[in-house]
């Protein structure tokens, strides 16, 4: 039973000492360091890739990857989607 008593007393003493040490130091929690800046930069790559996956909206007169084809008198617009995640262009109609 003495060992349990010393364990509780030691844990309480250690907790009080750690609390006093923490309260005596002023720390600015809003300061960014390497551990906060690096993940933000690592998020840029997937976000850019996601934007590249969607085709840009252009009118047919602006040029680019859109072309008009005739199939029996009917006009059909073909959109070519290019992106780093595709190995070949996709044709959307």
Calculate mean pLDDT across residues 17-29.
Answer: 85
Query: How many folded domains does the chain comprise?
Result: 1
- For residue 14 the two structure tokens come to 């250690």
Structure confidence at residue 61 (pLDDT) = 57
| Full domain range(s) for residue 67 | 63-93
How far apart, in whole angstroms, are the C-alpha atoms of residue 62 and residue 75?
Answer: 17
pTM higher than 0.85, yes or no?
no
Which residues touch 56 (CB under 8 Å, ≥6 apart)?
64
CA dist 16 and 10 (Å) reads 10
Is residue 76 domain-resident? Answer: yes
Which of 9-23, 41-55, 60-74 tops mean pLDDT? 9-23
What is the pLDDT, as a whole number, of residue 75?
A: 64
In a domain, 21, yes or no: no
Q: Average pLDDT of 57-79?
A: 57
Query: For residue range 63-73, what is the model confidence (pLDDT) as tens digits?
Result: 554 444 444 55
Query: Mean per-residue pLDDT for 83-92?
Result: 56
Is residue 8 assigned to a domain? no
pLDDT at site 70: 47
């Amino acid at each position: 039973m003495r060992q349990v008593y010393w364990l509780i007393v030691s844990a309480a003493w250690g907790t009080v000492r750690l609390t006093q040490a923490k309260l005596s130091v002023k720390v600015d929690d809003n300061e960014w360091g390497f551990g906060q800046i690096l993940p933000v930069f690592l998020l840029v790559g997937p976000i850019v890739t996601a934007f590249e996956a969607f085709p840009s909206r252009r009118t047919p007169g602006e040029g680019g990857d859109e072309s008009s084809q005739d199939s029996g008198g009917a006009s059909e617009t073909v959109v070519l989607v290019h992106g780093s995640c595709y190995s070949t262009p996709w044709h959307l109609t």
